[in-house]
Amino acid sequence: MDNISLDKNPVVDEALRDILKDLDASPVRIYGKKLWVTDRDLCQHRLLISCRSWQAKHGLPCLLDEILTEEEKSRMPTKDGFQIRAYDRHGKPYNLRCKKFGRATYRLFAGWGSFLKDNGLGATKGDAAGGEHVMVELWAFRSPRLDLGVENQPCGQLGLVMNVISPTTSASSGNEEKEEEEK
C-alpha cells in the first residue's frame, strides 16, 4: 500500500532488526489506527481491526484479508482463532491470537494486554478519553522460521510487528504523513 520501510524507521530497535533478519522477513505495513480507550482497556485486552473502516477511508480492500491464507481463514470461526507471533519495536515477542467476527472485523487478543502493559499503553475503565494520542501500526511478514502459527503455509507462518506511534516517537518515526491520514 505504501513505500514506508520498517527497516529504515528510526524508532525501531536494532534487536528487532536482528530478529527480522534471522527470520529472513521483510514486513509490509498492513494497518494503522488510533488506539481508542477500548483498544487500550486492560479488562478487554483486545485490538479490534475494522476492515469496513479501512475500506471506507482508503477505498482499498483490508490488507489483513489479503495476506491470510485459506487455511488461516478457515480457522477464524473457531473459538480460539489461530496463533500469531508478534513483536514490539524493541523485539519483544508476544503470542497473540487472531479471530474474525462477522464479515469485516478482526480481533487480536491473548497477548494484547501484555503488549499494552509492557509499552505503557494500558488504560482502565475510569480513564478519560484514553490519554495521549497513540497509534499502532501493524506490519506483516511470513517466515518458515517462526515457531508459532498455522504450519505448512506456502511462504511460512504469519508474523506481525506492532509499532507504536505516540507524541514522543512520531517526530522521528518517518510516518507523520500516514498518521495524519488515518486519524
Supply the pTM of this predicted model: 0.85
- The mean pLDDT value of the chain amounts to 84
pLDDT at 181 over 60: no
pLDDT band for position 157 (50/70/90)? very high
Across 150-154, average pLDDT:
92
Hey, which CATH number is domain 14-181, 1.10.3720.10, 3.30.110.60, 2.40.330.10, 3.40.980.10?
A: 2.40.330.10
pLDDT of residue 10: 82
The alpha carbon of 89 is separated from its chain's Cα centroid by a whole number of angstroms, namely 11
Average pLDDT over residues 76-97: 93
CA proximity to 148, closest of 140, 162, 163, 158: 158
The predicted structure's pLDDT at residue 45: 84
Model pLDDT, residue 177: 39
127: Cβ–Cβ under 8 A, 6 or more apart, which residues? 37, 40
Query: Above 80 in pLDDT, residue 106?
Result: yes
